[in-house]
Structure 1
Amino acid sequence: MPSAQSAARPAARSAAGVLGLAALTLLATAPRASAAEGWSLAPAGDGRPSFYAEGAPGTVLQDTVSVTNSGSHPVTVRLTGTGTGTGTGTGVPVTFAEPTVRVPARTRADVPFTMTVPAGAAPGDRSGTLLAKDADGRTATARIRLHVGGPALSALTVEHVAVHGDRITYDLVNRGTTVLVPKLAVRARGLFGRVLLDRAARTLPVRLAPGTRTGLSEPWPGRPALDAVDIRLTATAADGAHDTAGTEARFVPWGAVAGTAGALTAGAAVTVVRLRRRRAGRPAEPPPTDTYTDRDRDTDRDTDVELTGAVR
């Protein structure tokens, strides 16, 4: 006889209809549920190998899982929902009516549970696992597949393009509702439109889930030593997703500039010393006469300033 915790399958389905919850259907290609020693875990009724559900974002889905104890002693198992997402999802959130179930010998307990499709879930498939574990650490599992309905939208952006040393860094952001496998083309032009880098679009080793961002970089070992460069990155993906972004970079060989500046400074110092020595060795000027005017004095000062400017 079933325990007091057991729920009949017709009653569970009737409750689902009253609550307006989406029905679950068979996924024939999924693997069958597993069994531990003396007990097993499987979808309730109809011999389904696994759970399959469909619903729009925000929908609450309901089904029932059976824990069957074929042994001669009672067993207590704890139920959890686990697993990582596939496709466009990040897993299936599961809530059990009774997370811990005691099943008498030769008895089956039917435990209702719900799956809530997140309000912001992107269309596509998600996967998960129902896990049952007894006091001895033995486990059994049942697979879940959830299809989230809604329109598919492909959108991709390229952001934060920059040059750091011999690498071009950038971010790719999936702004749509589908998984994207992007391609990237890189082009860089120097002064007067000279092409410095031209890489055709190629597939990147990343898969972008909806709403995710990833930081990437492109090597540029042959970048110029002296130039002003316009860099453009173009990303594309399936269903027309595309975007172009870029940045400007100025390459200056600061070591050479510093050496040139040092040489100019040293030359300036030598010139100043020579000018001063020349001035020190000049014969004394005759005392001013009555015809030596303020204008003449201004002319001398102008000459001093002009010589100093030449030294710079």
Structure 2
Amino acid sequence: MRGAPLEMPDGNGRGRLLPRALGLLSLGLGGAAVAAPSQVSRLIGVDDSVLARTVVLRAIGARELLPVPGALASRRPAGWVWLRVAGDVLDLILLVRALRQRRGVRRRRVAATLAAVAGITAVDLLAAVHSGRIAGVRRRTLRASATVTINRPADEVYRFWRDFENLPRFMYHLESVRSDGDGRSHWIARAPGGRRVEWDAELVEENLSETITWRSVRGARVPNAGRVRFTRAAGGRGTEVRVELAYAPPGGAVGRTVAKLLGAEPGQQIRDDLRRFKQVIETGEVVRSDGSPAGLATSQQVLQRPARPQGDGSRDRSGDGRKRR
């Protein structure tokens, strides 16, 4: 069972809540301007203008309705919200012109409308920037998945992974994970170039012995999310573990390229992690040789030599007993 796609932080329904609310606002305002322009023109103080009542307000209403489908239904509403911002700017220009031409009660109505539209513009701008940031995270997100079969019952494998503090035992890019309670945890990872990256994560979904899903909290320097599923392997051969990871390295396309050159390609990394996880669960330790002490990272590949048991650097394994020169 594959289930729903793994959601990155801010990529869930909460990240689309504000654009949808603005879409509903556009629907109400645009519908009113198209269906009842005379009443709207009187409310905002431009009812002395025949052109405003008959043409301008209907045109503004039609423009207001234009971004409604995208703001309400699109998974990437940033462009539609920016369309609202552009319309807001046009409305402000028209209202400033109307304010200069009105006197008395009509002027006060126009001024109140101008203040309301300015407030809506600020909210639209905030939503557009936020939606654009989410879209940027999606564009640079790296995703990977891998599966391994482990000769242990699902509940045992689940309990080991559920204690996130165990993860650095087989995920070598993790320096430490500290469980803070209430499903929150603090992670420290080794980044390319010898740097350290820290973030807080929250537990999103937990089905006993079946699924664990987590993601970094808002504001993490490297937004990330993960999911692991535990299913009974065919023929009673233990537990099939499927892991999905997603993260957005800083630096956009350049960051992605540098990460891969330095051996942080996510598909390769997750396969190494699962191989070590299987060894830890089944044997209690990670079996390594000095030929590949830390997996398949590029920096390790460059330095590799033919594998020998660790610590045995004095003899050739060919059996002739001669020392290697």
Structure with larger RCO (C-alpha < 8 A, sep 6+): 2
TM above 0.5:
no
More strand, by proportion: 1
Query: TM-score normalised to the size of structure 2?
Result: 0.20
Query: TM-score normalised to the size of structure 1?
Result: 0.21
